Amino acid sequence: MNGKVNILNWFEISVTDFDRAQKFYETIFDIKLQVMQFGAAKMGLFPMEPGNGKLSGAIVKSEFHKPSAEGVLVYMNGDPDLSVALGKVIAAGGSIMREKTQISPEFGYMAVMIDTEGNSIALHSNA
């Protein structure tokens, strides 16, 4: 792998209603997205520390981004307990596809939600 630690370094979640999606993700994770325009694409960057080697991503609205509940499944960090974020999903306009489920004692827990744009997004936590 040419010395690369992580094969994945960025993700984009497609949205059709940017403001609605921004409110959804800011609500369930209790964060603020950094909004920027990148050409014709409007992006809401998740909090990150540039240069630290950790994965981050954004919600993106453009003609090339089409929300879907099928395809790639992104796991977002729900630490310390994904129940907190999962408990906010329905009130924020999303739905729960799979409740909190233990993967194994070593790998923690996961759940799958449908965001306000129709994307399947997984949550992961150690507790």
Question: Is residue 99, in this structure, part of any structural domain at all?
Answer: yes
What pLDDT is attached to residue 1? 43
Question: Is residue 71, in this structure, part of any structural domain at all?
Answer: yes
CB 112 within 8 A of CB 98: yes
What pLDDT is attached to residue 19? 98
Question: Is residue 101, in this structure, part of any structural domain at all?
Answer: yes
Question: Is residue 1, in this structure, part of any structural domain at all?
Answer: no
Question: Is residue 103, in this structure, part of any structural domain at all?
Answer: yes
> Residue 73 belongs to a domain with what CATH number?
3.10.180.10
Secondary structure (DSSP) of the chain:
-TT-S-S--EEEEE-SSHHHHHHHHHHHHT---EEEEETTEEEEEPP--TTS---EEEEEESTT----SSS--EEEE-TT-THHHHTTTTTTT-EEEEEEEEEETTTEEEEEEE-TTS-EEEEEE--
Question: Is residue 4, in this structure, part of any structural domain at all?
Answer: no
CB crowding 78-94: b at 16 or more within 10 Å, else e: beeebbebbebbeebbb
Domain of residue 39: give its range: 10-125
What pLDDT is attached to residue 100? 98
What pLDDT is attached to residue 5? 55
Question: Is residue 3, in this structure, part of any structural domain at all?
Answer: no
pTM of this prediction?
Answer: 0.88
* pLDDT of the chain, 127 residues: tens digit per residue: 455 556 677 899 999 999 999 999 999 999 999 999 999 999 999 998 877 777 889 999 999 999 999 988 999 999 999 999 999 999 999 999 999 999 999 999 999 999 999 999 999 999 9
What pLDDT is attached to residue 49? 85
Question: Could you give the CA distance from residue 21 to residue 92 in angstroms, rounded to a whole number?
Answer: 9
The tally of domains found in the chain comes to: 1
